[in-house]
Amino acid sequence: MPLSPRKPRFTETQYAARFAAEKVRMQRRYCDAFEFWRDCRRRQCRREHGCRGDAHACLKRAFGAVARDVQWRIRQNVLTATPANIGAPERTARQMMPLDFYDARSAPAAVAKAAARQVTKPGSGL
């Protein structure tokens, strides 16, 4: 029985780039789920019923008005919809609560810990 080949690991740069891209998607997803577009100053957001501006600034400004249980429920919906075979950077971003995107104590530690498990070690040949 042949052994299955190991999945290639990410370099630090690859991991960071993929995490950053998924983080932006998650911020927009949270903005849309919390319906921040209803009170947005941008006419385009209100017209298209979704975040079309700077999701980072919008979420940072308004997520405090959303009850913690609602944030938790939306996060659980995201996790339920996450495929089992998604990459590690994307999974790390999807497991974060909205506050984790801005809390200097929780996000870097979680990302660094996950990246350390996934990053190719020099000289390992992977």
Predicted confidence pLDDT, tens digits, the chain (126 residues)? 565 566 667 788 888 899 889 999 999 999 999 998 888 888 998 899 988 888 888 888 887 888 989 989 999 999 999 999 998 889 989 998 888 877 655 555 556 666 566 555 555 444
Q: Is residue 73 part of a domain?
A: yes
Count how many domains the chain has: 1
Domain of 28 in residue numbering reads as 12-118
Query: At a CB cut-off of 8 Å and minimum separation 6, what does 84 contact?
Result: none
The rounded distance, in Å, linking the Cα atoms of 17 and 89 is: 9
Q: Is residue 25 part of a domain?
A: yes
Q: Is residue 126 part of a domain?
A: no
Q: For residues 57 and 85, is the Cβ–Cβ distance under 8 A?
A: no
Would residue 11 be called left, alpha or beta, if left means φ above 0 and alpha means ψ between -120 and 50 degrees? beta
Q: Is residue 30 part of a domain?
A: yes
Q: Is residue 4 part of a domain?
A: no
Q: Is residue 1 part of a domain?
A: no
Q: What is the pLDDT of residue 64?
A: 82
